[in-house]
Amino acid sequence: MFGFGGEKTIVGLDIGSSSIKAVELKKSKGAISVAAFGVEPLGSDIVVDSMIVDSGSVSTAIAKLFADHKIKAKSVATSVSGHSVIVKKIPMNTVTDAELSETINQEAAQHIPFDIADVNIDYQILTEDTTEPQMDVLLVAVKKDKILNYTNVLSLAGKSPAIVDIDAFALQNCYEYNYEPAPGTTVALLNLGASVMNINIVKGTTPLFTRDVSVGGNQYTDSLQKELDLGFDDAESLKLGQKVGTVSEDAKLPILQQVTEIIVLEIQKTFDFFRATAAGEHIERIYLAGGSSKVPGLVEALRQEFSLPLEILNPFQRISVGAGDAELLEQNAGQLAVAVGLALRSFEDL
């Protein structure tokens, strides 16, 4: 999306509210493999509502992550989501790319609830047939202070920001490379993080509808802490299916189920809105990613509610993994999808 130039090898760096994920990929004889990866946990209240509140802690965590996992490349692609990000598909009269680049700011001003001077804008023409009188344009606007919030932290950590992408599009990039979708296949990509869920409905390689929802794994943790009088670490362990003290399954499951119902409802509302605005389009499959995809009962609840094939997105389906890393990558696969999508930006010919 928003490029800053730089060296060829780009490390995908996903700065979430509970951890930072880094993935470095390499290409040899046309095949892509994992060169290095790592996950560094973050304390609570360091990244809040997708904004970095404590820059010092995040830059220290990034530097530690690179040092611990021997990642030498300095060029980084990261991504943002949340309230400061606007993604809209806008219909307009067909013009050339050159004409659009001159008028895009005027078009954007009609669709963006922020002052145009306060945002960075990017766009992509979605309509392939240039003889049609109307075309669809994907408009992306991100508040400049949001981008600075992330790029300043990267600079503090001694890294060079090469690209600032959108979480939903990084997830889509990971999906496209690994699953090579047929042009007419419509899927929903769900990335359930700690505080934000990214939803991207994609047909082939064209995004049809994207939405960020302020729900995520932290709500499971908060509910378990409150209802069972637990500390943060114990609640986190319990959320991911581990045994904690004398807490029984019967005590835990109803609490998890309540939060799952909230998440399912938000997905349902998004799907309903999509169907109402995209006449004739039908979601055929759901792919689930994100660290919170492991919460017990979530996958079953989604399958039951939507009666659609659902699978955990595998970010390494077409990416080779070293024998020594296989088990560790499998454990963390769900939460590495966005970082893989960002790291794939290194290879422009994909």
What's the token pair of residue 194? Answer: 């700690």
Give the model's pLDDT for residue 62: 97
What's the token pair of residue 21? Answer: 């994920």
Give the model's pLDDT for residue 333: 81
- Edge-first strand order for the sheet with 85-93 is 85-93, 134-143, 119-125
Give the model's pLDDT for residue 7: 46
Q: Which CATH class is domain 86-140?
A: alpha beta
pLDDT, one tens digit per residue, over 231-290 is 998 998 899 888 888 888 889 999 999 999 999 999 999 999 999 988 789 999 999 999
Sketch the domain layout of the chain as residue ranges: 2-85+141-218+258-346, 86-140
Give the model's pLDDT for residue 249: 87
Question: What topology does CATH give the domain 2-85+141-218+258-346?
Answer: Nucleotidyltransferase; domain 5 (3.30.420)
Report DSSP letters for 118-150, one per residue.
GEEEEEEE----TTSSEEEEEEEEEEHHHHHHH
Ranges of residues in the chain with a pLDDT under 50 are 5-7, 350
> Taking the model in full, what pTM does it have?
0.92
